[in-house]
A and B are shown apart, each in its own frame.
Chain A
Amino acid sequence: MAIDLDRCTGCEACVVACHAENNISTVGEDQAARGRAKHWIRVERYYEGEFPDVKMKFMPVLCQQCDAAPCEPVCPTFASYHTSEGLNGQIYNRCIGTRYCANACPYNVRYFNFYNPEWDKPLNLQLNPDVSVREVGVMEKCTFCIQRIKAAEIQAQAEKRELKDGELKPACVQSCPPTAMVFGDLNDPNSEVSRLAHSNRGTKLLAELGTLPKVTYLQRDSWHDAENT
């Protein structure tokens, strides 16, 4: 995945779409204030400059699907594991809730079910049948909409063809109004996302930790120019 920070307007459509697609329960105001909110993708806000001359910068942060993921080796029950496609899988049924993965994750993108999930009516009627609902005591996180990936793969297989670039989009990418997010196959050198990943605007979040994230952030042009001059 590639995220163009220049295009992100901080509208949070991705957050809402993710909640709807992945059956993420809303925890309510009180619990959210106590740090129990679950947003598999969140839009981080950072402020630049001194008041009143302040600029707000947005950065959507989701699971970086690291190649060397700190969350994976620490899980005692293989609930957090590396899939053959290179994603960080999370098997809810295996999770016993040690929360070690969330502590090890430098991006803080793993979310814990402190209570059993509940939905205000009529939201309880719109659950996605392709995604399991997680019970209390279980860790969860962004899956890159694995259910969509699997569905598209099966469809392509049935039609005896390869997946086309841009054919499938996770909910956040699909719902992004300024198309700040691009999703695709990094193993395909001709895909749009590969091109962006190798762009000279491309950076990785906390790259210095050596986690080899698969999300590329495209720097703002203003930063890029400042760096090049």
Chain B
Amino acid sequence: MTLKTPEQINDDLLRPLSGTSGRYWVVLAFLAGIVVAALAAFLWQIYAGLGVSGLRSPVFWAFYITNFVFWIGLSHAGTLISAILRLANATWRRPVTRCAEVITVFSLSIGASFPVIHLGRPWLAFWLIPYPSERGIWPNIRSPLLWDFFAITTYLISSVTFLLLPMIPDLALVRDRALGWKKKIYGVLALGWTGTPKQWYQLETAMHIMAIAVIPVAVSVHSIVSWDFAMAPVPMWHSTIFAPYFVTGAIFSGIAALILAMALLRKFLHLEEYLLPIHFDNLGKLLLMMSLLWFYFVFSERLTGWYGNESSEMAVFWLTQRGSFSPLFWTMVFCNFLIPFPLLAIKKLRTITGTAIASVAVVVGMWIERFLIIVPSLSHKYLAYSWGEYRPTWVEITITGGTFAAMALLYMLFSKVVPIISVWELKAGPREAAHPATALPRINEAGAD
């Protein structure tokens, strides 16, 4: 492959920001339509009451909390992967990091909206915020839901910072090439970046601090999400394995989402020369490792539960293994292990198409996994008389569909506003090492990065 000059890189990566095709607007309108339908469904739910959902006694959490866990899990794509790869100084990460960090911010925002959507009285959601109020009480710090509130807020703030920091030089680049009102907006967003050595040094230092800080935050978030379940004395929930199991599942689904997003970006934004087969190959290996880890966790959880043979646990165990939830259970195993394992383990199949297919399977499988953790346990709690079966209604299905559309919509909009591949990081990469124009960023290569 011929090396590209920095000017060519600029042209290639900033091209999506200038022109938009008719097809783009059609897809955008279609996605926006689904999002509007989901918003309408939510408003209808507020107006009529939560009874319009399929929730019932004793299944008080279902689709909404599944979506909550799923999207928060997906958010581990970005920040965690990008931070680990930065710290490990994996140079192949350069074109991947921003795609990943954007997934984090958007999926976290979507996930964080579900605890509000699922409330009986969503208009009082602000009561979770600790502030001196006329009610005279603070929120209950013993409640895992409050831990969620703090963990998700911290994670959102840190992942937004982690996304915005390395965007600054690129925004400045866009500013320098833009005209008119666009120049003004990008000028404000670029925060006066001129690319002096001092600014580079500060940016690299800040990135390094954030990369280290964000890893424990990300791990804590999904651990706390798992504790929403593990803290309650509910069969198959009350388990010590839940925190690492959830974190593993989160990274697993996150990598899958990242591969999927990259494959789509590569096709539609014509980034064939930037998102290379090697990136999919490397991420495919990571996904393979997470798939094996996931299988290991499910196996350990199931084996110990079955061997312990505790009657209330076994009711839930057999319900998922052989009962009414078994088709979903085996679909999950198929999607999360049987499809990805051969696709990712055999080198010939670990192509862009292969990893993309595996990723679709994993995203579907992980959604089912979240559902299977929540619903069977709740529907078969201790007293057999109070058992009940859950069926979702159109309201929940519409809102769930709306979140996937919202994710795609936000991603599409973002890729039109900000270069989806970090231009300066790419230029600082080893394949440009001979070029004098990139000497400045490379100073920092030796230092903090």
Q: Chain A: residues with CB nearer than 8 A to chain B?
A: 31, 34-37, 42, 44-46, 59, 61, 70, 73-78, 94-100, 102-104, 106-108, 111-116, 135-139, 206, 209, 211
Contacts and interface: CB of A to CB of B under 8 A. Distances in A.
Contacts of B383: 44, 61, 106-108, 206
B119 A206 contact: no
Report which residue of B58, B60, B137 has the largest number of chain A beta carbons within 10 angstroms of its beta carbon.
B60
Contacts of A206: 382-383
Contacts, number: 147
A103 B121 contact: no
Interface residues of B, number: 44
Given A115-B49, A116-B49, A97 B139 contact: no
A57 B239 CA distance: 33
- Describe A's contact surface by its main secondary structure: loop
24 contacts: A45-B385, A73-B142, A73-B143, A74-B145, A74-B232, A76-B128, A77-B127, A77-B140, A78-B140, A96-B119, A96-B121, A96-B122, A100-B143, A102-B57, A103-B61, A108-B57, A108-B58, A108-B386, A114-B51, A115-B51, A136-B50, A136-B120, A137-B50, A137-B120
B127 A96 contact: yes
Given A74-B145, A112-B50, A116-B49, A98 B382 contact: no
A91 B300 CA distance: 41
A136 B49 contact: yes
B266 interface: no
B234 interface: yes
Contacts of A37: 57
A113 B120 contact: yes
A165 to B, nearest CB: 30
A100 B56 contact: no
A209 B233 CA distance: 8
Contact of A75 (B50, B59, B143, B388): B143
A212 B169 CA distance: 61
B144 interface: yes
Nearest to B137: A78
B81 interface: no
Given A99-B61, A102-B58, A113-B120, A73 B51 contact: no
Interface in B122-136: 122, 124-125, 127-128, 135
A98 B145 contact: yes
B231 interface: yes
